[in-house]
Structure 1
C-alpha cells in the first residue's frame, strides 16, 4: 500500500520523464534565484574603491514625505522646524496617494479599457476560465480589471500605514509575544512561504505555473540586489542608532545590526540573528526590501491563480443524462432558461471559447479538419465507474437542477465525473471560492510588513518599492510567459484544441488522484 503511494507520487511528478531530467528542470526553473543568492553572498568581494556613494538620507526622508510622519520622527531626530516638516509630510503624503496612486492608475485603466477599448483582461487574458462565467460579455469592472495591477500600489499604501501604527519604536510597544511573532514571520515564514507557494502552484495549477513563479522571484531579486549595489541606502535601525546627521559610520566597513531581532535572541537564549546580521555582505541594502518583494510575489500568485469557480462539471447535461435525472430535451430547455435568466434576456454575441475556437480554426486553415479534436472533447469516463446512482446523489443533483445552480461545462475536456456526495461535504465547501489561499496570503503579507517595521529593518518606503519590484517582475513574466505560453497551451488542451500528448491537461494533484473521487479537487476548472 505504502509502496504504491510513493510510486504514484513519483510517476505523477516525473510525468513520463526520469529523475535526472526532473532535477535538471528544477535547477533551470530556479536558476535565477540561485544566481541572486550567489550575488548577495559574494557582494563584499567588490573593491570598496569601486563602490558608489552611500545615501543615508534618501530612505528616511522618502518614507516620511511619501507616507507621513506618524511616529514624530522629525522631532525624534531633533531636526529644526520639526512641526512644520511633520505638517508638510502629511500634505505631501496625501498628494502622493491622490495623484500617483489614485488618479494616475485610473487614467491608465481608462486609457486601456475605454479609450483603446480592449475587450479582454489585458493582464490576465484567461481569467474568464478561472474566475468568471464564460458566457458573460467582457466588462472592465473595477473588481475585475482595476484591482490588479492598478489598485495594488494604493492598497499597499493603505495597509503599510495601518500596520505602521502598531510597529512604533517605543519601549512600551515591545513585548515578548510581539518579538517572537515578528521573528517567526521575518525569519521563518520568509523562507517557508515561497516553498509552500511553489508546492501549491505545482499541485493545484497548470503545469508551468511554478516555473513562472521561480523566474519572477529570480528576476525581482536580481534587480533588487543590483539596486542595493548601485544605490546603497541606510536602513531605519542605522538612523535610530546613529542619528540622521551621522557621517562617521556611513562607510562600507560598517557592520550589520540585527536591530529588533536582538530582543528575540535574548528571549530564545541564542545569538543566531545577531551573528547572522553582523556578517551581512550588504549592510546598506535597504531599498528595495527583498523581504517585501518576495512576500508580495507569493501573494500575487496566490491571489490571481486561486480559482473562484467550483463544481463546473457536476451539473453538466452529460452528467445529468448519465445519472438518468432528466431527458435530453429537458436539459436543453432548462439550460436555455438559465441563460436567459442569467443575462436578463440578453444573449451574448460571442464567448471567449468561441473566439478561441475561431482563432484556432483560422490558424489551422489548410490542415486536417477538427475530427481528431472533436473526438478529444469526449468525456473521459475512466473514473465514472466509481460514481453510484443512489438516491442521495440523484436528490442532490435534482436540488441543484431545481435551484438554478447549474453551470455549463463550456465544452471543456472533462477527465472525470465529480461525485457530489463527496465534493459537497462541508469541509470541501470552504475551498470552493479559493478563499483559503487568498485569506492566508493577505494575513501573511500584513504581518510580514508589520514584523519588518517592528524589528526596525525597513521603512515603509523600502517595503513599497519592494512591492513595485515584485509587481514589475510578475507583470513581465505574466505577459511574456505565463499567459501566452503556459495558460494558452493549457486552456487549449482542456478545450480539446490540442491533443494532450504529454499529459499536461492535468495538474500534479490530478495526476496523483487520477481515477479517484478526489481528482476534481485539484482541477482549477472544476
Structure 2
C-alpha cells in the first residue's frame, strides 16, 4: 500500500535508500524491545494456535476403546432439514419412501431460518436497544471514535447488521450450495484448481495476511486478540471432532447413508474432490495427505469455515475509513479538519469506565467522537503529524479504495464465500458443518472482543491517542505509523485518521 505514495517529496529520500526503510521496519517492529523478547511474545500470542495444531496432530494416539460412537448420519440429516433438500439427497440415500420427508425439509428449513436465525437475534437487538435503552454499539463501544461520525441509532447499519449475520449466512450457504452439484457435468479443471487454491492455499495464507494487516494498521494488541479468537475456536473445534465425530459428505456419497461397515476409527481418510486436482497436477500429495488424516470423522464443525469467518469478523469490524483531513497544527492549514471536543476531560470520564459494556455511560459518545468541522482546528493530543498530509493524497480518486477501506472489507467478505463454495464443491463439508463452524467463530470472537479486545486494547489505545494517558513507549502508534513516522504517509496507517 505505501508504494502508491512514494512520489511525495518527503518520502523520496527514504525510498532512495532501501536500507533506511529496513532500519525503520526493524525499529518499528521491535519498538524498544529486543529480538528475544519479540520472539517470546510471538510464541506466547500464538500459543493457542500451536496448542490446537498439537492436539490435532496427536489425535490418532487416543485408544479406539476410549473414543465415542461415530454419528455417520447426523450431519447429513441436520443439513437437509436445516437448510432444505434442494439436491434431492434424501430420496437418493433412503429411496422413494423419503419423498414426504424431502418435501418437509422446505418447511423445517423455513422455520429454522425465521425462528432461530431472524426472530431470536432480532429479539435480542430489540431488548438491548429498546428495552434496556442502550445508546451505544454493544459489540464495538468505541465505534464512534474509529469510524465515520454518525449519531448513534439502533437502526444504524453498524448496530443492526451483526444481529442479521446468521440469516445472511443461511442465505449465503444456500446460494453457494446451488453451484456445488456433485454431478460430473459440474466438474471442470478450472473449478477444481480454484477450489484447491481456496481450500488449501488460502486456508493457510489468509490468516497470515490478516494477521499482518492487523499488526501494521491497527492498535497493538489487536493481533493478539485475533490469535486468541482463532486458537479458542480451533481448540473447541478439535475437541468437538473428538467428542462428537460425524461423517463428511464424501463418506455418505461413497458408502451410502445406511453403511455401517466403514463407520470405524480404522477408516482411512479420503481427499474426495481433491483427487481430481492430483490428476490435473500429476501428483498424489492431496490423496496421501488426507489418507493419513488423524481425524477422519472430524466434519463438524468445519474449521475451514471457522477460520475464514474469523478473518472476516476482524477485517470487517476493525477496518476503518478516512474520517477527515488531518494537518499539522503548527502550520495552521485551513481545511476541513476533525474536531475532538474536550478530549482529556471527556475521554477520562468515558474511556475509564468499567469493562462491562452494560455499565458504559456513553450518552456523550457522539460528543467525544470525531466530528467534521470547518476552518482551522487544533487536532487532539497525539494526533498532530509532523509532516502535513498532501492534498493530492486526500483527493486522489485512485486512493479512494484506501480511504473507504474497500480492500479489507471486500477481501474479508469474499473469502468465506469462496471457502464455503470450495469445501462443498470438493465434497468435504455439508452446509451444516460450515454453519456450525461459523457459530464457533462468532462465539469465540464475541468472547475475546468483550473480555480482551475492547477493555484491554481499544480502551487503552483511545486513552493514549486522546492524551488521557502519557504515550511513553509509542504504544499509541501502529506498526505502520512507527515505520513511517515523520513522513507524509504516517496518517495512512492511523486508524483514527
Query: TM-score normalised to the size of structure 1?
Result: 0.84
How far residue 236 of structure 1 moved from its aligned partner, in angstroms, is: 0.3
Count residues with an aligned counterpart.
Answer: 462
How many angstroms apart in 2 are the aligned matches of 1:451 and 1:199?
Answer: 25
How many angstroms apart in 1 are the aligned matches of 2:147 and 2:381?
Answer: 15
- Number of the residue aligned with 2:203: 190
Correspondence 1:470 to 2:441: yes
- Number of the residue aligned with 1:517: 488
How many angstroms apart in 2 are the aligned matches of 1:469 and 1:407?
Answer: 48
Cα displacement string for residues 54-87 of structure 1 (whole angstroms, at most 9, x for unaligned residues): 0001100000000001111012214343321121
- Number of the residue aligned with 2:160: 146
How many angstroms apart in 2 are the aligned matches of 1:250 and 1:244?
Answer: 10
- Number of the residue aligned with 2:252: 239
- Number of the residue aligned with 2:457: 486
Correspondence 1:88 to 2:101: no
1:258/1:411 Cα in 2 relative to 1: closer, same or farther (>3 Å)? same
Task: Structure 1: state its 5+ residue gaps.
Answer: 340-349, 364-400
1:22/1:361 Cα in 2 relative to 1: closer, same or farther (>3 Å)? closer
- Number of the residue aligned with 2:125: 109
CA contact (8 A) 2:332 2:376 kept: no
CA contact (8 A) 2:343 2:380 kept: no
Q: 1:275 aligns with which of 285, 288, 291?
A: 288
CA contact (8 A) 2:82 2:112 kept: yes
- Number of the residue aligned with 1:436: 407
1:409/1:263 Cα in 2 relative to 1: closer, same or farther (>3 Å)? farther
CA contact (8 A) 2:146 2:496 kept: yes
Which shifted more, 112-121 or 25-34?
112-121
How far residue 410 of structure 1 moved from its aligned partner, in angstroms, is: 6.8
- Number of the residue aligned with 1:288: 301
Cα displacement string for residues 166-225 of structure 1 (whole angstroms, at most 9, x for unaligned residues): 001111000000000000000000000000000000000001100100110000000000
Cα displacement string for residues 356-381 of structure 1 (whole angstroms, at most 9, x for unaligned residues): 33346899xxxxxxxxxxxxxxxxxx
Correspondence 1:454 to 2:395: no
CA contact (8 A) 1:310 1:433 kept: no
How far residue 6 of structure 1 moved from its aligned partner, in angstroms, is: 1.5
SS for the counterpart of 1:426 is: coil
How many angstroms apart in 1 are the aligned matches of 2:435 and 2:375?
Answer: 43
- Number of the residue aligned with 1:322: 332
CA contact (8 A) 1:422 1:517 kept: no
Task: Structure 2: state its 5+ residue gaps.
Answer: 1-16, 355-371
CA contact (8 A) 1:312 1:525 kept: no
How many angstroms apart in 1 are the aligned matches of 2:353 and 2:215?
Answer: 33
1:362/1:308 Cα in 2 relative to 1: closer, same or farther (>3 Å)? closer
- Number of the residue aligned with 1:4: 20
How many angstroms apart in 2 are the aligned matches of 1:496 and 1:147?
Answer: 32
How far residue 144 of structure 1 moved from its aligned partner, in angstroms, is: 1.9
| Higher Cα radius of gyration | 1
1:439/1:407 Cα in 2 relative to 1: closer, same or farther (>3 Å)? farther
CA contact (8 A) 2:325 2:389 kept: no
How far residue 427 of structure 1 moved from its aligned partner, in angstroms, is: 2.2
How many angstroms apart in 2 are the aligned matches of 1:227 and 1:94?
Answer: 27
How far residue 125 of structure 1 moved from its aligned partner, in angstroms, is: 1.1
CA RMSD across the alignment: 2.4
Which shifted more, 118-127 or 194-203?
118-127
- Number of the residue aligned with 2:391: 420
Correspondence 1:218 to 2:231: yes
